[in-house]
Amino acid sequence: MSDVLNILVTGSNGQLGSEIKELAPQYKYNFFFTSKDDLDISNKEDVKALLEAKNIEVIINCAAYTAVDNAEDDFEIADEINHFAVKNLASLAKEKSIVLIHISTDYVFDGTNCTPYKESDTTNPNGVYGKTKLDGEQAMQEVNPSDSIIIITSWVYSFYGNNFVKTMLRLGKQRDGLGVIFDQVGTPTYAKDLAKTILDILPQIKNKNVEVYHYSNEGVLSWYDFAKEIMKMAKIKCGIKPLETYQYPTKAVRPHYSVLNKAKIKSTFDIEIPFWKDGLDDCLKRLNERK
């Protein structure tokens, strides 16, 4: 590997990809950012041509089909992006000794645990989105490129893109009150914190077999708690009423419990993970500055 790594970031217009793009100038790497408009990751030949042309040594795969409810009717496209494209990336990574960092989701679990999910826990996705993401994980593990990892994360939000935080801010200003689910528990992940972690641990990734790691911010809360804190920090006067899941039906089943155990990533790479309120505070400040 060269001193200055050539890094391909796929899905770079998404929440995580956009945060990596913003942090990129702080790191001594050569970054190549692609989106679905300029690189179809399900086209193996196109990906191979780019890897060779740019002498890519690391792929950070942020590309994914993430429309959870739409996926229920859109299996083929979700499977193409979340499963087969990941298999392509893994086989090219193995062939060319490229480090592959792939991002997955808490939806690979069914949410029936009552203690934080460890990497060794049994997966059992409830819907198409989770199933296609799990199939992508398993395809990558079967191909088994060395020095490659899967990071499972949850409840991602960011300064960029559409997400729960921005939706709450928008609705909070439009309405006097909102109902938010209180019986789904997990931890938000501030995409900027995850982006920084990925770039920080990159030089330390050395493993023969694909390793799975969990990452979210620290702490545990419900969507209701999260919404309450968003309104409080943003000083928006909007009453938040707790709803049970059955009162807000969705096409895809959401996991009731998505808390991730992060001991493995913390001990392997000697990192500290910020508390969820600190991430939210930073995100709100950035959104406020943009105004």
Domain ranges of the chain: 6-161+187-218+258-274
> In angstroms, rounded to a whole number, what is the distance separating the alpha carbons of residues 32 and 268?
27
Tell me the two tokens of residue 51.
């890897």
Tell me the one-letter amino acid at 200: D
The answer to whether 194 and 156 have CB atoms below 8 angstroms apart is: yes
Distances in whole angstroms, Cα of residue 80 to Cα of each of 46, 132, 141, 160, 182: 15, 8, 17, 25, 33
Tell me the one-letter amino acid at 33: F
Tell me the two tokens of residue 215.
């990452």
- pLDDT reported for residue 1: 55
Q: How far apart, in Å, do the first and last CA atoms of the chain sit?
A: 43
The answer to whether 76 and 125 have CB atoms below 8 angstroms apart is: no
- pLDDT reported for residue 2: 60
Distances in whole angstroms, Cα of residue 261 to Cα of each of 16, 62, 100, 140: 21, 21, 22, 22
Give burial (CB, 10 Å; 0-12/13-18/19+) of 112.
Answer: exposed
Distances in whole angstroms, Cα of residue 43 to Cα of each of 38, 49, 88, 108: 12, 10, 8, 25
| CATH number for the domain running over 6-161+187-218+258-274 | 3.40.50.720
pLDDT in tens, the chain (291 residues): 566 899 999 999 999 999 999 999 999 999 999 999 999 999 999 999 999 999 999 999 999 999 999 999 999 999 999 999 999 999 999 999 999 999 999 999 999 999 999 999 999 999 999 999 999 999 999 999 999 999 999 999 999 999 999 999 999 999 999 999 999 999 999 999 999 999 999 999 999 999 999 999 999 999 999 999 999 999 999 999 999 999 999 999 999 999 999 999 999 999 999 999 999 999 999 999 986
Distances in whole angstroms, Cα of residue 169 to Cα of each of 125, 166, 240, 258: 30, 5, 12, 23
> In angstroms, rounded to a whole number, what is the distance separating the alpha carbons of residues 20 and 13?
10
pTM given for the model = 0.97
Three-state DSSP class for 176? coil
Tell me the sheet residues that pair with 103: 151
> In angstroms, rounded to a whole number, what is the distance separating the alpha carbons of residues 252 and 127?
6
Backbone angles phi, psi at 101, to 5 degrees: -115, 115
Q: Rounded to 10 degrees, what is the CA torsion of 10, 20, 59, 132?
A: -50
Active site amino acids: 129
Largest CA distance in the chain: 57
